């Protein structure tokens, strides 16, 4: 068994972080190191999927639920427009291998990924 991910530990209350929204299967927190005026993470409660490719193959409806919550949060925290980023693999910058979507919103510039 591998160690629980940082996101599982947040969900279980072992690491402090405000859960800003949740459904039965998905929850959202603020990224601890924001790269945009609004930078949220939308995360499945289950740690079964390491990245978005595994998730899309294994449970596409859960992926759709993540996108749905991202849209709701972008409307609540910004003007409804948002950028959705999934890092897949260490070479792409993935550091937490419990699939999560970065939701970036609020005055994003066109040229860069983050802000
Ligand atoms: P990634 O690099 O795509 O795996 O994204 C992991 C993200 O998790 C990074 O943007 C981190 O800033 C964020 N992160 C790591 N630990 C925490 C934490 N305790 N609370 C909130 N966000 C975190």
Q: Report the pLDDT averaged over residues 59-76.
A: 98
Query: What is the 31 CA–ligand 1 centroid distance (Å)?
Result: 6
- The domain spans of the chain are 6-105
* 95 CA closest ligand 1 atom index: 4
pLDDT at 1 over 60: no
Token code pair at residue 31 = 């990224």
pLDDT single digits (tens) 87-99: 999 999 999 999 9
Rounded to the nearest angstrom, the distance between the alpha carbon of 43 and the centre of ligand 1 is 11
Distance between Cα 13 and ligand 1 center (Å): 16
Please identify, by atom number, the ligand 1 atom nearest to the C-alpha of residue 33.
Answer: 12
Please state which architecture CATH assigns to domain 6-105.
2-Layer Sandwich (3.30)
pLDDT of residue 2: 79
pLDDT at position 48 over 60: yes
pLDDT at 97: 98
Q: Cα separation of 6 and 71, whole Å?
A: 24
Does the active-site annotation cover 39? Answer: no
């Amino acid at each position: 068994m591998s160690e629980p991910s940082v996101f599982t530990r947040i969900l279980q209350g072992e690491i402090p972080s405000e859960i800003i929204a949740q459904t039965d299967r998905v929850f959202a927190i603020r990224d601890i190191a924001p790269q945009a005026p609004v930078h949220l993470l939308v995360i499945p409660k289950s740690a079964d999927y390491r990245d978005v490719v595994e998730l899309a193959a294994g449970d596409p409806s859960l992926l759709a639920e993540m996108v749905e919550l991202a849209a709701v949060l972008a409307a609540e925290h910004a003007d409804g427009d948002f950028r959705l980023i999934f890092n897949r693999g260490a070479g792409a910058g993935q550091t937490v291998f419990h699939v999560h979507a970065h939701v970036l919103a609020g005055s994003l510039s066109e040229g860069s990924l983050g802000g």
